[in-house]
Amino acid sequence: MKIRILIPARLESSRFPKKLLQRVSDKTLIEHICLRAKKIKCDTFVILTDSRLIQKIVELHNIECYYSKVNHSNGTDRIAHYCKLKKYNPSDLIINIQADEFNFPLYAIEKIKRYFKDNKDTNVATLIYQLVNHPNLANKNLVKVVKDKNNNAIYFSRSIIPFNSKNYFGHLGIYAYKVSILLKYRNFKKGAVEIDESLEQNRFLFNSVPIKCLSIKSHDSISINTKNDLKLAKKKFK
């Protein structure tokens, strides 16, 4: 099983256009993500983008970048397209780090790698963390997840789920999947749960593909979805 880090980096985000080009200290957001990901031991590390400018920035750091103007519905679809193009082995592990997940936890990537090594029947996994007294629980950009007794996801939502609970879990923007299931993803039917929530991972659940939730205890990651998130990242980086 080869480990391949693929980061989809679309320029025109609907919520915060061109956010990957915004600067935190002396580097753009995409540079911060790339240089952090470069520390991960893996067999392949590639940025997938629809922007020549992002490609130029990334390649200045000697990081491989694949440019394509093919329209994709989401980052998972972009990765699936690339895996098919490269004819990766179906058993290879793809780790998808969201390009706006500033200061993502490196130790959590190692946890994913260990889990897939020990659980070869798993096809999809993601990271979650407990939300304790979180001040922005209602924030639609803070994705929540409900899981079952086996730590498989039941549902991902931008709403507060479960209702009136004292035990909430947030979702971190990092996914891991076998190439075999990614090649099927593009042909899976889109359900209302994906469209209404605008959450690509719900397509797996709608098509009865389990998503294993791997819990992490703490992290300093900031998902950059708004200008306020960017301000917070700049403040923390000082």
Question: In which element (H, E) is residue 226 found?
Answer: none
What is the domain-level CATH number for residue 43? 3.90.550.10
178 in any annotated domain: yes
Q: Are 41 and 23 within 8 A, CB to CB?
A: no
Q: Can you give the residue range of the structural domain that contains 229?
A: 3-121+172-210+220-237
48 in any annotated domain: yes
Query: For residue 142, which amino acid is it?
Result: L
Residue labelled with tokens 């996801």: 153
149 in any annotated domain: no
Work out the pLDDT band at 217, boundaries 50, 70, 90: confident
Query: For residue 145, which amino acid is it?
Result: V
Per the structure, the count of domains in the chain is 1
145 in any annotated domain: no
148 in any annotated domain: no
**pLDDT tens for each residue of 80-107:** 999 999 999 999 999 999 999 999 999 9
Q: What's the pTM?
A: 0.95
215 in any annotated domain: no
Work out the pLDDT band at 17, boundaries 50, 70, 90: confident
Name 157's bridge partners: 144
